[in-house]
Structure 1
């Protein structure tokens, strides 16, 4: 595979990662509500999910999706449901007033606390349950096929895409865990959690509706 094709793919992936979306929402939510460590762990989860998708497509899951379109429909139903779950969590935090950063950070390093694992898991699941992530790798696979790329090339792109995700979303995590951002969140956490809930709700509803339409067709 030529370096020009590789560069083209990576520029497209990086632009998709930089643009606002579910991944950025998950990382910024973890960073604002929990601080730097949960934010970075959420970014690690996103990067892990990106690499898992590349591995799956290198082993031919794209052919499975092409042969069984119902699998993509199932992914839409599961993904839509998960995003609605995240929306309900954010809205519940908004309503009951549990978004205080201080209370979260007090428990952050408690042995019984699993906030770091929760942040990592959320970042991972947001990527793995997002049908658009699967479709992006379908496009990458098709581009590689047209450029006579190999399966190892897809793994290389996966590693690079995972690294770029860690850098991009890690920067988001650091930005949203700064003192200015945290203090603003402490003052307006109900509004912020409400916005997160609304955005996740819109994303989840759209994905779920698309999946239900596919079931009927």
Structure 2
């Protein structure tokens, strides 16, 4: 079981370290609102990972196979949420609010920051597919549902470490100074990134629905 967990963790670690909605959510909050809010986003991401690990251990992969519409809905909902974040960043950029953000004074409450991280993960169909693949791999090695479920905290702790590191890096003095100088450009970039991710998910869902 230890070898299976180690191999699975390497794959999960690579997925967590690569660019995606989780990283962008953490980085945007770290730059604009400081370390505390960013770390709460990270805890929300880790909480979402625990939810997905529980769901996959209880048969999420079978559910997605039996009901393809569930994945379509996830793409539309997830894409919509990312577009919502993108539009918020775009509105701040347009109104010039980004330039007045003070990183030392978080604008998001702790619970709101945690909720953002949680929703980014739970509305991300790629996260669902990744955890379904994790469960499939572990079940294929002969592990029991309880053993598959036990991998969840490992993945969540890994997420805490990876995204926590990103939170610290993006909230350093140098990063914050750069953000303060180019705030509108940075917010505009985040708006474009979230918008592109959201549009891609929705377009994929619409194509799937037409097919």
2:33/2:108 contact within 8 Å kept? no
The CA deviation string for residues 80-139 of structure 1, in whole angstroms up to 9 with x for no partner, is 11111111011111111222332x644x3xxxx653222211111111000000110111
TM-score, length basis structure 1: 0.93
How far residue 204 of structure 1 moved from its aligned partner, in angstroms, is 0.5
How far residue 150 of structure 1 moved from its aligned partner, in angstroms, is 1.4
Cross-structure match for 2:130: 136
User: What is the DSSP-based 3-state SS (H/G/I as helix, E as strand, rest coil) of the residue aligned with 2:19?
Assistant: coil
* Matches of 2:96 and 2:110, distance apart in 1: 21
1:42/1:123 contact within 8 Å kept? yes
1:32/1:101 contact within 8 Å kept? no
TM-score, length basis structure 2: 0.95
How far residue 13 of structure 1 moved from its aligned partner, in angstroms, is 0.2
After TM superposition, where is structure 1 displaced by more than 6 Å over at least 4 residues in a row? none
Say whether 1:96 aligns with 2:95: yes
Q: Which runs of 5+ in 2 are unaligned?
A: none
Cross-structure match for 1:58: 57
How far residue 61 of structure 1 moved from its aligned partner, in angstroms, is 2.4
Number of aligned positions between the proteins: 210
Cross-structure match for 2:46: 47
RMSD: 1.3
* Matches of 1:115 and 1:191, distance apart in 2: 25
Cross-structure match for 1:211: 205
Q: Which runs of 5+ in 1 are unaligned?
A: none
